[in-house]
Amino acid sequence: MCYNLFMDSFEVLDQYRNYMLAVLGRSELTVKEYTYDIVNFFRFWKRDKGLVPKDTPLDEIDVSDITVKQINKVTSDDLLVFLIYLGREKKQSNATRARHIASLKSFFKYCHSKKHLIDENPAYDIETPKIVKRLPKYLTLSQSQQLLKAAYSSPSEYNERDYCMLTLFLNCGLRLAELRSIDLDHIHDTVLTVIGKGNKERTIYLNKACLDSIAEWLPKRAQMNIKPSAAKALFVSKRGTRISDDMIQIVIKNLLMQAGIDTRVYSVHKLRHTAATLMYKYGHVDIRNLQQILGHQSVSTTQIYTHVDEQQLQDAVNSNPLAGFDPDKK
């Protein structure tokens, strides 16, 4: 999802956004998503209340004039109508609607309990739709190797950088924002310090593949005209600025296509799933250690990677001593 963090906002939303960034330590990506959801609701609300013509496309509705008085008029019924719209008309999944609910609950709680701007919290009793937990999509070991080979031999002018980013994704299980924010002084010998969700710091130990890819990228980086604002950034763009989230996504998508891997199924975040799965499946990494590597607050989040793949299930069935039983044999 591409959304300008400073586009189409209103005063209370600006204050809430600053609160999330400065006080709660939410990532810029999380703040973008919450902003998008809240703006979407108020666009719908204005149209539903007849404040704009009924046939106005949702993305053309301006919410910069939303006032505290109007926020105070929002009811739980308004929120339910919006959620019905998301499900029936927009055909959004339970997971997407659950995120919208989380965004709205957080915003209205801020308005009611933190800033005391509204008399009642309309989102207080809104229930979150049940989400069916699915096993994470991940690349196989063969696909991962194929992708790395494609990156290493890519004709791109910045293939050393791209290969290095991919190597860190696949070996360390980094989030997009974590990789983007790596500074040169975050690396000390074989140790990488990353800033994860909630501005929490954790340590990741780099393996030989990571160290080799960094060593190949740094000489190329040293030849670039890097702007002062990106002087510490490990990964920079051709303009000399710290590489953006969008650019990283574009790079990875191009590499996936070069490797013949379906970009409708696999993305940057799937590389994190891949790293976790490969470490657990082939490295036999303890679940608590995997939790620490990935930076999960709860081990229950990490447990999704302890799934058993289809081949293991097939092997288990084949190992049954009755697997070769033939009733015709005497």
- Cα 204 to Cα 172, 197, 223, 232: the distances in Å are 7, 15, 28, 19
Active site residue 109: no
Cβ contacts of 4 within 8 Å, gap of 6 or more:
none
Q: Which of 26, 32, 221, 296 is catalytic?
A: 296
Which of the residues 16, 36, 158, 305 is marked catalytic?
305
Q: Which of 100, 161, 175, 221 is catalytic?
A: 175
Q: CA–CA distance from 193 to each of 106, 168, 182, 308 (Å)?
A: 30, 13, 8, 31
19 is catalytic: no
Q: Give the 3-state secondary structure of 17-32.
A: HHHHHHCCCCCHHHHH
**Residue 34 and residue 123: Cα distance in Å, rounded?**
15
Annotation says 284 is catalytic: no
Find the catalytic residue in 99, 270, 272, 273. Answer: 272
Please, is 66 exposed, middle or buried when counting C-beta atoms within 10 Å of its C-beta (0-12, 13-18, 19+)? Answer: buried
CA distances from 38 to 12, 78, 293 (A): 11, 13, 33
112 in catalytic set = no
Query: DSSP assignment, residue 307?
Result: P
Q: Classify residue 128 by its DSSP letter.
A: P
Sign of the Cα torsion 214, 220, 223, 227 reads negative
137 labelled catalytic = no
**Tokens linked to 320:** 């049954």
Active-site entry in 115, 186, 197, 220: 197
Helical segments of 137-203, H only: 141-152, 159-172, 176-180
b or e along 6-40 (b: 16 or more beta carbons within 10 Å of the residue's beta carbon)?
eebbbebbebbbebbbeeeebbebbbbbbbbbbbb
What are the DSSP calls for 194-215, one per residue? Answer: EE-GGG-EEEEE--HHHHHHHH
Catalytic residue positions?
Answer: 175, 197, 269, 272, 296, 305
